[in-house]
Amino acid sequence: MPETFEILANFLERYSTEAEGADFGEPSEETRFKLRQFGAGRLSRKEQDELLEVLKEHPRWIASLAQEVKALRRTEIKSAESFKWNKGNTLSRTTSPH
């Protein structure tokens, strides 16, 4: 996936003036869902390519993608905090103090 972002970054660097002029409004709920799926690595190659074409037309939506990835990281960190290493190098879920 890093190669995909590099391609997108190069495109935006070369064509930022034209690409920025093509942005209209916020992404739809369907597009936001696809951005979440893309950020989580759950889209097929074809779906990724289609979404990248949409992002080329709406480069400001890349910020929405970044927000989705950040949200996933926060969720993963919270999830990881609920586990601890036991003797014998096994993981177990800790109990919540709530």
Segment 59-91, tens digit of pLDDT: 888 888 888 888 877 766 566 566 666 777 676
**H-run or E-run covering 47:** helix 45-57
- 44: tokens are 């097929």
CB contact at 8 A, 66 and 8: no
Mean pLDDT, residues 30-48 taken together: 90
How far are the Cα atoms of 16, 34, 45 from residue 54, in angstroms, in the given order?
15, 11, 14
Identify the pLDDT of residue 79: 60
12 or 2: which carries more pLDDT confidence? 12
Tell me the H-state helices in 1-98: 2-20, 29-39, 45-57, 62-81
pTM over 0.85: no
Domain regions of the chain by residue span: 2-93
Residue 65 per-residue DSSP state: H
